[in-house]
Amino acid sequence: KSLERDLERVGNSLLSPPSSTDELLNLLERAEGLLSKVWQQPPKRLRRALLPVMKALIADDLLRSHDTSVQVVLASCFNELTRITAPDFTYPDELMKEIFRLFIISFKQLSCASNLNYSRSLKILETMAKVKSSLMLVDIDSDGLINEMFQLFLNHARSDHHSETFKYMEDIMNLVIQEIDSISTELLSLLLDSVRLGNKIDSPFSWNLGRRVFKKCGAKLRSYIQAAVKTMNLDVANYAEIVTSI
């Protein structure tokens, strides 16, 4: 009952958010901490207590904030909500697109482990991989956001990442490819660019991430690669051996 009461209080406070960024961050962090204590598929009484928070978080003033710290903490709150409600959608499709845009903004913080928002962004990545919330992105049919997310992962795969970070990225990419109805030319190009022969030296971690995705999803990607050879004059000799073997 204490958790329910606290959730209702912070939700009602967020419905009339403070104008001070520091005070807003403090309030969002309180919401984030409370949401992290809610287990998946909670009982009806606790679900009711979530409603004020869920309503407050989708206010235009919050969703349109340009403050990076606000965006990342807000993304973290939504991340907890997707965990709590998985596998169901938390919000309508158009709002889910806005939420995934915030997730992608948070993933940009993964480029530097010393970044103040790094650990929060890593938690969002971990949750997305473990509860498979990226399936929501497939279901709302947003190729643009999928491409942007893949590009970020491939750009930010680097030596100072923990092995778990690399694995979470790989798991998310594999799941999306396996579940998506069709692979767009742009998405295929992103994957192919990561495993160009020159990338093995220039961007070895991006190369390895792309190579592992091709290995795991070869059956799904085969027909698209074969089509690219014919329509785009793709020379598989310019890419990692895994592309040729597919």
pLDDT of residue 141: 75
Residue of 177, 172, 171 lying closest to 191 (CA atoms): 177
Residue of 200, 192, 183 lying closest to 235 (CA atoms): 192
Here the tokens at position 49 are 């207590």
Q: How many CA atoms, within 13 angstroms, populate the side-chain half-sphere of residue 29? A: 10
Q: What is the pTM of this model?
A: 0.93
Per DSSP, what are the bridge partners of residue 196?
239
pLDDT of residue 160: 59
pLDDT of residue 143: 80
190: left (phi over 0), alpha (psi -120 to 50) or beta: alpha
Q: How many CA atoms, within 13 angstroms, populate the side-chain half-sphere of residue 78? A: 32
Domain boundaries in the chain?
A: 2-140
Q: Mean pLDDT, to the nearest integer, of 180-195? A: 95
Q: Mean pLDDT, to the nearest integer, of 33-62? A: 96
pLDDT of residue 226: 93
pLDDT of residue 163: 80
Please give the CATH number for the structural domain made up of 2-140. Answer: 1.25.10
pLDDT of residue 159: 60
Q: How confident is the model at residue 102 (pLDDT cuts 50, 70, 90)?
A: very high
pLDDT of residue 116: 83
* Tens digits of residue pLDDT in 211-246: 999 999 999 999 999 999 998 888 999 999 999 998
Percent of the chain whose predicted confidence (pLDDT) is above 70? 98
* Tens digits of residue pLDDT in 69-96: 999 999 999 999 999 998 887 899 999 9
* Tens digits of residue pLDDT in 196-216: 999 999 999 999 999 999 999
* Tens digits of residue pLDDT in 2-34: 999 999 999 999 999 999 999 999 999 999 999
Q: State the average pLDDT for the chain.
A: 93
Give the span between the Cα atoms of 225 and 232, in whole angstroms.
10
| Long-range contacts, stretch 165-173, CB < 8 angstroms, 24+ apart | 165/110, 165/122, 165/125, 166/205, 166/209, 167/129, 168/125, 168/126, 168/128, 168/129, 169/125, 169/129, 169/209, 170/209, 170/212, 170/213, 170/216, 171/129, 172/125, 172/128, 172/129, 172/134, 173/209, 173/213
Rounded alpha-carbon distances, angstroms, from residue 148 to 71, 90, 100, 110, 137: 17, 22, 11, 14, 12
pLDDT of residue 161: 62
* Tens digits of residue pLDDT in 120-177: 999 999 999 999 999 999 998 778 999 999 999 998 876 656 688 899 999 999 999 9
pLDDT of residue 157: 73
